[in-house]
Amino acid sequence: MQKIIAKTGEIIFSSSKGIIQIDIQQRILPTTKYLIITHLTPLILAKLQKNTDPELKIKVSYELYYLLQKLQRVRLLEPINQFQQFQIIPVGFTQQFGEISLTAYRNDDSLTGSLALLIKTNEQTLGYCAAFALAGPHLKRIHRWQKIFRQAGITLFLTSQTMFQPAAPNSFSGEVGLLHHWEKFLNRHQGLLGVQLSPWNPERLQRYLVLAAAHQRKVFLEPHFANLLSHFSERTTDWTTQKTATIEQAGQVNGVWQLKKQQAVIPATAVFIDPACQAADELTLILERLSEPQQQKLLQQLGQPQLQII
């Protein structure tokens, strides 16, 4: 049976196979046997890095597992404790945990590898998605899981309060708004410029590079970032590692130079800082919030389940 712990808001299910916990609101419960991570936030990552329970089974999407693996390999992420305990949860295939079944579907909330979950118990069928975009390049993913939830006849839909909080002053209208911000910066600063980019979304990194190329700007990446993109990019865009180039060479082609964290400026240039580098939670930066009419439309699309905000 599903229940939510009042003090921490943790979502847990009791099954004959053990306690199943969905994501982390405050902490990993000591009784949890299976931890399902549907998206990554700074808090969730911090708890995963500190996990010392050798019996805990952590399940994530293939995309998120691959990203975490590569970030550690190229030293853009401190090693995660017990990473060998991570298991991939397949998309679209029902997983059985005793009398509880769980099916994961790809979601789009601007974070790599995020999932929506359809959960069936002996007593009810419910859907869970912590957060999702209202527009963007992967909107079909959202429409698909919403349709599946409706067809499954969910009686309860769980989502996070992130979807209902007022928009932050520095938020963007999805991925398109963020990239438009980047393009305006390119237009305003025609000479050599520096950038500090977030490594958490390689797909977005690739879009940054595509826009730079469209403006005839060559990108010079810090080696760790270059190594990361080598795992995700087919080199359809033009970028060079800083191992083989100097700032002076970048200036000759009005290049875009990736700064290390300790660098504040480079000579005669503006500096673009990816807002995701500074956001405490990238979800609050990117996602649009659900207005009252959008809430009603969502519930209608899901078959009018009860809404529960965690």
- The gap from C-alpha 181 to its chain's centroid, in whole angstroms, comes to 20
pLDDT, residue 262, reads 58
- Other C-beta atoms closer than 10 Å to the C-beta of 91 total 13
pLDDT, residue 264, reads 61
The position carrying tokens 């009005």 is 254
The letter for the amino acid at 299 is L
pLDDT, residue 122, reads 87
Residues 6+ apart with CB under 8 A from 210: 236, 237
pLDDT, residue 231, reads 87
Q: Worst-scoring range by mean pLDDT, 6-10, 130-134, 226-230?
A: 6-10
pLDDT digits 0-9 by tens, 197-212? 988 888 889 999 999 9
Which residue in 34, 17, 16 sits closest to 87, CA to CA? 34
- Other C-beta atoms closer than 10 Å to the C-beta of 79 total 8
Q: Is a pLDDT exceeding 90 seen at residue 6?
A: no
Specify the 3-state DSSP secondary structure of 234.
coil
Which residue in 147, 199, 138, 211 sits closest to 174, CA to CA? 138
The position carrying tokens 């809430």 is 295
- Other C-beta atoms closer than 10 Å to the C-beta of 188 total 10
Q: Is a pLDDT exceeding 90 seen at residue 118?
A: yes
Q: Does an H or E element contain 158, and which?
A: strand 156-159
pLDDT digits 0-9 by tens, 25-68? 999 999 999 999 999 888 899 999 999 899 999 999 999 999 99
The span from the first CA to the last CA of the chain, in angstroms, equals: 17
- Other C-beta atoms closer than 10 Å to the C-beta of 297 total 12
pLDDT digits 0-9 by tens, 292-301? 888 999 999 9
pLDDT, residue 177, reads 86
Q: Is residue 108 a contact partner of residue 147, using CB atoms and an 8 Å limit?
A: no
Q: What value does the mean pLDDT of the chain take?
A: 88
Q: How far is CA 67 from CA 44, 74, 199, 231, 236, in A?
A: 15, 11, 9, 9, 20
Q: Is a pLDDT exceeding 70 seen at residue 281?
A: yes
pLDDT digits 0-9 by tens, 125-173? 999 999 998 877 778 889 999 999 999 999 999 999 888 877 666 677 7
pTM here?
A: 0.90
Q: Is a pLDDT exceeding 80 seen at residue 261?
A: no
Q: Is a pLDDT exceeding 90 seen at residue 235?
A: no
Please state the rounded mean pLDDT for residues 168-195. Answer: 86
